[in-house]
Amino acid sequence: MKLLVIDIHKLLNPNEHFSLKKTINFAKSNINKIEWNIKPTQEHLKTIELQIDELIENYLQKVKNLRNNHYAHLDKNKDTIIYDLRLKDMYQIMEKSEIIYKNLVSHFNNSGAIFNIWKNPPNEILSLSKYHKIRKLLLDKYLANEWNDELNQIWGIINEKPV
């Protein structure tokens, strides 16, 4: 988790060398000098920049607080500081960053990028991923007032306490 927080901070912080913001600024200012496979328009790059700005606005300060107070520096009172950043937020940052990265890479070399953390992910990670997808689908149905008895049974199964 420590490395994830530190690396996401590097990705979001516009002052870091290889941040998303510096990458998009470089692409915008050198659009005619870069050998693109599929040249994007300035408007397209501005759209990507807006996505990056949204990530920075929504998450940078939260990630920075966690990084500075808990991981990068050993504050004496680090256990008393309340952080407004959840694991769900970290996954959202990673997913949105991946979409931005794939978009840019597709223009550079007309291919996609595959993000794969593990060559063979542990079964526990795969099971957790499936659980979260099912849970999200159920919550979406609940919020859309599309709940029924069958969905209630599925909800009961995924919330059962292990024996």
pLDDT value for 116 = 54
8 Å CB contact between 14 and 22: yes
Highest-scoring range by mean pLDDT, 51-60, 75-84, 119-128, 129-138: 51-60
SS3 140: helix
Residues near 124 by Cβ (< 8 Å), separated by ≥ 6?
Answer: none
pLDDT digits (tens, 9 = 90+) for 100-111: 988 888 888 776
In the chain, what are the domain boundaries?
Answer: 2-109, 123-158
Tens digit of each residue's pLDDT (9 = 90 or more) over 20-29: 999 999 999 9
Tell me the C-alpha distance between 163 and 160, whole Å: 9
